[in-house]
Structure 1
Amino acid sequence: MTVPRIGVVIVTMGTRPQELEALLVSVAKQDVPAARVVLVGNATSLDDVPTDVLDAAGVPGATAVTKVPLAENLGCPGGRNVGLRMLCDGDDVDVVVELDDDGLLVATDVFREIGRLFAADQALGVIGFRVADEHGHTERRWVPRLRAGDPMRGGPVTAFLGGGHALSVPMLRQIGLWPAEFFFGHEESDLAWRALDGGWEIRYVPTLVLQHPRTSPARHAVYYRFTARNRVWLARRRLPAALIPVYLGVWIALAMLRMRSLTGLRAWWGGFAEGLRTSPGRRAPMRWGTVWRMTRLGRPPIL
């Protein structure tokens, strides 16, 4: 059994220097070192980031960081794609771990366990980490299933969190990378649906923990607009035609029930209209067999 070689991609806007340094330290302290670490700066020079993880961690033999400063902000999926292309185009990485720049690996055997899981299952395409705050608490919205009462229940799922996950390089070469045009929001759903439609498994492994501060996605000024627009794009790109109005109807109802801000309401409907009138990119609807597979896994693609 060949142990997969692991690469790491981290995207940052340079606004969390202390958290980023702590994350790099936690990456360097893994008992199985990464083959490559790529740090992408979205509209930031990365001049203040240590050139080598060794500088931050003081760990002998730590993996050097390749810094890729970008002149413009490509959004989270666009920035990640820059790092993924560097790793997927080479021949020295089999699995890519992507981590939020304000996350932290609290254990030192995360990469070892990821390698073991991928080596044991050739159909495994995505591993989703459990996200927990500094007190070990996992919010319900961080559990990638509808029945989210027990965050320690792992297994096959239909979704994963963008903050901490591992992706199979052979899978990425088959299904493609992140939908960069989404910029922010629901890019994980687009990739997850393509992975499932390609025959790959997504597995939630709650023993793999990314520590992450408890924040609200609505803290981003564009949250409501992009959330609505990208849901429409996701449906138009990936769902069979008969399911598009069902999916959008369900999410309109849920969004209206949850909305607490008049400003957010205006932005949401503006994004929804934008999703209808603009191109979502190439349409490649999932097979009905994938719809049934997702339903059997507990989350049909209308929720």
Structure 2
Amino acid sequence: MPDSSFASLTTLRVGGAPAELIRCTTAADIAATVARLDAAGTPLLVVGGGSNLVVADGALDLTAVLVANEGIELIDDSTLRVAAGTTWDEVVAYAVAQGLGGIETLSGIPGSAGATPVQNVGAYGSEIADVLTRVRLYNRETGADEWAPADSLELAYRYSNLKFTNRAVVLEIELALERTELSIPLRHLGGERLPLAEARENILATRRAKGMVLDDADCDTWSAGSFFTNPVVPSALADEIEAKVGEAGMPRYAVGGTEEKLSAAWLIEHAGFPRGYPGEGAPARLSTKHTLALTNRGSATAADIVDLARDVQAGVEEQFGVRLVPEPVWIGF
């Protein structure tokens, strides 16, 4: 019998077993399954690629509904309609092969297409909100299967009103892309634009160097990606932190008139948490390639991941007065 534990369903490879696992291969099946479970009062968790979940150890009193509908359709010259269970990087590869730009900087991000609007996935200066036009949702409150415009999701930095609320399940998404030969400006290359395929390979290489492309043979990629969001703080606090560290060039980006976004990775490193912390032999460690990833070295439990996350949170808060907020959704804690 195949393993149905969350350790096999998530990229962190930790977590106990659901009471039941139901795999749904069509949008109608997803909606009908969720409706049936809701009507019965059965606790459930909708699971896509499992790249943004930290699930507790042990037996869990919930049913896992696995979103496994797949498919990419070019519905006009530049609009993609994508089934929620489609592997996200396959969507990017398809778009680039079709000469469609706008999501090439999101290459290599693990997980499913349906998860991208939930947390407004982004990287290297762009995010799904830039191209998302509408989302097909199963509304768990009304029972309606309906298309909703992107602006109804209140998309913001790593946020939508779908996240944490469980109000609806994503069934399909639509993306408005641009027929072009060149990428969008690449922030990590000073705004340079490259041919689409070259830009995609550049992003993949950049992510691989940070352990951010899944690889079964590399424990540095057994993670939930960037574990903490980049904090937004008052500019005065940013000044204090930069002065305290005494190092020019602290990453800081203006957000409105009086606030700035700081780099969570920079804060973690300068709070005394080097890559690979807490060291060889620990079951859960910061990636040896990138301090923003908490990794399972092969034998970690969910409790090990949580302990490491809290250790890092406490250290950054003590050193700089900034409380880092985890990006993944925590289940069962």
TM-score by length of 1: 0.27
Normalized per residue, the structure richer in helix is: 1
Rg larger in 1 or in 2?
2
Identify the structure with the greater strand proportion: 2
Q: TM-score, normalised by structure 2?
A: 0.25
